[in-house]
């Protein structure tokens, strides 16, 4: 049922760009939602993580954007700053063939006065978290009178995080006549309620939640409250040796304790949870996605929706709250035909959850005995990359090419040893093959990038 974007009434610039981006065919959620979206209808769409929801609403927004108007056209709310950044950069990418489309993020942790100035100079699309958006509304630095399209991304997660009231307050500031889009990975009852409050005759689209789990090995382990789960986790890692894995926990404290426990055993693990400072969260995520870390120990909320996939394993240290979340968690492994592994610990009172999971995945849950967990070799895998920190970023007008240029030219680093480069506002992260990182840091701290000196070190 794959379809080309060309069958849609999309502007020519967008079609040209989609083909340049090699978006050859629509994903199922795009094929199902875009015809109605482009007609201007309100839509509630549910599809699993990684199914291309951002481009679905992004194309709708960009198609109805009339340039060169300077008015604010669209507001997108996201639950976390990382997601807002991710959505903003995807939309900027989709808007490449439009001249001067201004996409602005409004999130906590960033300078408010800078945001005020950017707003004053005009933005077409604002992507933000509810708290900071409300803040700008109350200061009147953000005015939504001209808004045409309002989008909630990861709506389920926003409700889980308690943003309901904030969302309603924001909706009260919107023009009555508008298009309202609600995108969500799961479709619980409270999404239906929210939809009935903020949408008008919305078209409801749900795609199949079951994941093609055939190439994923899923094992369940029953544990007693008295048992040492950390030790079971360690045994699992030694037995199966995943090069990259997420360990999902229920509490922030667990994420910290487990990351420490694994680090003490020489495993490159770090925790990701809501208690971290924004800059720490950014750093951990960057290190994990650029392959400087083996294990990310995270709460569901912290890891939800982030574009981290292609994992060798997903470990549910605690069972997720519902079967749909389970399906989402496992969707991060076994991508692109590769083999994936999912290990889940459960306790006696969680038996029912296994039934729900069987129902949803159409597979029997295979239960294994923890006493059979043995290993012959310790987990000694070392991530291939390490992360270098540079004290300059967007505000210094640094671009990836400048950094690659300095690394290859000044530091004599093999271009093949340079991994992902992430340029943030006032600093940057660069992944470098471990064998070259010492040299890169040493040489670059004495050299200049774009004629300027920066502090350079290990992240
Ligand atoms: P979701 O929000 O549903 O979790 P995303 O919107 O983050 O998923 O999309 C996941 C990835 O798929 C992104 O890297 C995006 O650029 C890519 N993508 C989206 N639509 C297409 C398409 N039609 N063809 C190829 N890649 C796509
Ligand atoms: Mg998304």
Whether residues 339 and 405 share a domain: the answer is: no
Please check whether residue 284 lies inside any domain of the structure. yes
Q: What percent of the chain has pLDDT over 70?
A: 97
Please check whether residue 380 lies inside any domain of the structure. no
In tens, the pLDDT along 100-155 reads 899 999 999 899 999 999 999 999 999 999 999 999 999 999 999 999 999 999 99
- Contact (CB, 8 A) for 94 and 15: no
Whether residues 41 and 184 share a domain: the answer is: yes
Residue whose CA lies nearest to ligand 1 atom number 26 = 23
In tens, the pLDDT along 230-265 reads 999 999 999 999 999 999 999 999 999 999 999 999
Predicted pLDDT at 322: 85
Whether residues 151 and 186 share a domain: the answer is: yes
Please check whether residue 232 lies inside any domain of the structure. yes
Say how many C-beta atoms besides its own lie within 10 A of residue 208's C-beta.
10
Whether residues 278 and 315 share a domain: the answer is: yes
Residue whose CA lies nearest to ligand 1 atom number 25 = 23
What's the CATH code of the domain at 54?
3.40.50.300
Whether residues 187 and 229 share a domain: the answer is: no
| Closest-approaching ligand to the CA atom of 328 | 1
Whether residues 32 and 85 share a domain: the answer is: yes
Please check whether residue 377 lies inside any domain of the structure. no
Please check whether residue 367 lies inside any domain of the structure. yes
For 388-416, b where at least 16 C-beta lie within 10 A, e where not — what string? bbbebbeebebeeebbeebbeeebebeee
In tens, the pLDDT along 281-324 reads 889 999 999 999 999 999 987 777 677 778 999 999 999 988 88
**Distance from residue 66's CA to the centre of ligand 2 (Å):** 25
Predicted pLDDT at 385: 96
Q: Taking the chain, what is the end-to-end CA distance rounded to the nearest angstrom?
A: 46
Whether residues 275 and 395 share a domain: the answer is: no
| Number of domains making up the chain | 3
| Closest-approaching ligand to the CA atom of 47 | 1
Confidence of residue 336 (pLDDT cuts 50, 70, 90): low
* pLDDT of residue 2 exceeding 70: no
Domain that holds residue 36: 5-206
Predicted pLDDT at 305: 64
Three state DSSP letters for 266-277: CCCEEEECCCCC
Residue whose CA lies nearest to ligand 1 atom number 12 = 52
Whether residues 185 and 287 share a domain: the answer is: no
In tens, the pLDDT along 68-84 reads 888 999 999 999 999 99
**Counts of helices then strands in the chain (DSSP H, E):** 17, 18
Predicted pLDDT at 210: 52
Whether residues 189 and 222 share a domain: the answer is: no
Please check whether residue 200 lies inside any domain of the structure. yes
Predicted pLDDT at 160: 85
Please check whether residue 378 lies inside any domain of the structure. no
For 138, residues 6+ apart whose C-beta sits below 8 A from its C-beta are: none
Please check whether residue 425 lies inside any domain of the structure. yes
Whether residues 201 and 220 share a domain: the answer is: no
What average pLDDT does the chain have? Answer: 92
**The last residue of a domain, from among 167, 189, 206:** 206
Whether residues 389 and 296 share a domain: the answer is: no
**The last residue of a domain, from among 174, 206, 238:** 206
Question: Does residue 31 have its Cβ closer than 6 Å to ligand 1?
Answer: no
> CA 213 to CA 173: how far, in whole Å?
43
Whether residues 217 and 349 share a domain: the answer is: yes
- Contact (CB, 8 A) for 344 and 357: no
For 52-89, b where at least 16 C-beta lie within 10 A, e where not — what string? bbbbbbbbbbbbbbeeeeeebbbbbbbbbbbbbbbbbe
**The last residue of a domain, from among 189, 206, 223:** 206
Cβ < 5 A residues, ion ligand 2:
53
In tens, the pLDDT along 405-427 reads 999 999 999 999 999 999 998 99
Give 249's DSSP letter.
E
């Amino acid at each position: 049922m794959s379809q080309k974007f060309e069958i849609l009434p999309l502007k020519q610039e967008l079609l040209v760009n989609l083909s340049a981006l090699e978006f050859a065919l629509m994903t199922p959620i795009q094929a199902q939602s875009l015809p109605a979206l482009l007609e201007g209808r309100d839509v509630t769409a549910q599809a699993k993580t990684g199914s291309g929801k951002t481009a679905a609403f992004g194309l709708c927004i960009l198609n109805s954007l009339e340039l060169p108007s300077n008015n604010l056209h669209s507001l997108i709310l996201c639950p976390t700053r990382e997601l807002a950044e991710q959505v903003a950069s995807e939309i900027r990418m989709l808007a490449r063939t439009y001249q001067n489309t201004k996409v602005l993020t409004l999130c906590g942790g960033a300078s408010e006065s800078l945001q005020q100035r950017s707003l004053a100079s005009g933005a077409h699309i604002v992507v933000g978290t509810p708290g900071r958006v409300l803040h700008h509304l109350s200061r009147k630095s953000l005015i939504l009178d001209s808004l045409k399209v309002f989008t909630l991304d990861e709506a389920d997660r926003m409700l889980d995080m308690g943003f309901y009231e904030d969302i309603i307050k924001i909706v009260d500031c919107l023009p009555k006549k508008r298009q309202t889009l609600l995108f969500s990975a799961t479709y619980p009852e409270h999404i239906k309620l929210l939809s009935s409050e903020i949408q008008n005759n919305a078209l409801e689209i749900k795609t199949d939640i079951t994941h093609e789990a055939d190439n994923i090995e899923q094992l369940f382990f029953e544990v007693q409250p008295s048992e040492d789960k950390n030790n079971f986790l360690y045994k699992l890692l030694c037995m199966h040796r995943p090069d990259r894995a997420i360990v999902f926990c229920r509490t922030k404290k667990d994420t910290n304790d487990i990351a420490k426990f694994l680090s003490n055993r020489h495993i490159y693990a770090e925790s990701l949870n809501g208690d971290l400072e924004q800059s720490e969260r950014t750093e951990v995520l960057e290190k994990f996605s650029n392959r400087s870390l083996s294990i990310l120990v995270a709460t569901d909320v912290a890891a939800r929706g982030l574009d981290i996939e292609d994992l060798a394993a997903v470990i549910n240290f605690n069972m997720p709250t519902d079967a749909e979340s389970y399906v989402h968690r496992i969707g991060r492994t076994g991508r692109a035909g590769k083999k994936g592994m999912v290990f889940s610990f459960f306790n006696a009172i969680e038996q029912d959850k296994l039934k729900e999971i069987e129902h949803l995945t159409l597979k029997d849950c295979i239960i294994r005995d923890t006493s059979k967990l043995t290993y012959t070799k310790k987990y000694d895998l070392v991530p291939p990359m390490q992360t270098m920190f540079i004290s300059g970023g967007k505000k210094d007008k640094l671009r990836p090419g400048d950094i690659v240029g300095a690394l290859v030219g000044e530091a004599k680093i093999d271009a093949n040893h340079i991994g992902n480069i992430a340029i943030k506002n006032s600093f940057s992260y660069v992944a470098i093959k471990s064998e070259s990182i010492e040299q890169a840091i040493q040489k670059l701290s004495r050299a200049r990038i774009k004629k300027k000196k920066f502090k350079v070190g290990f992240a």
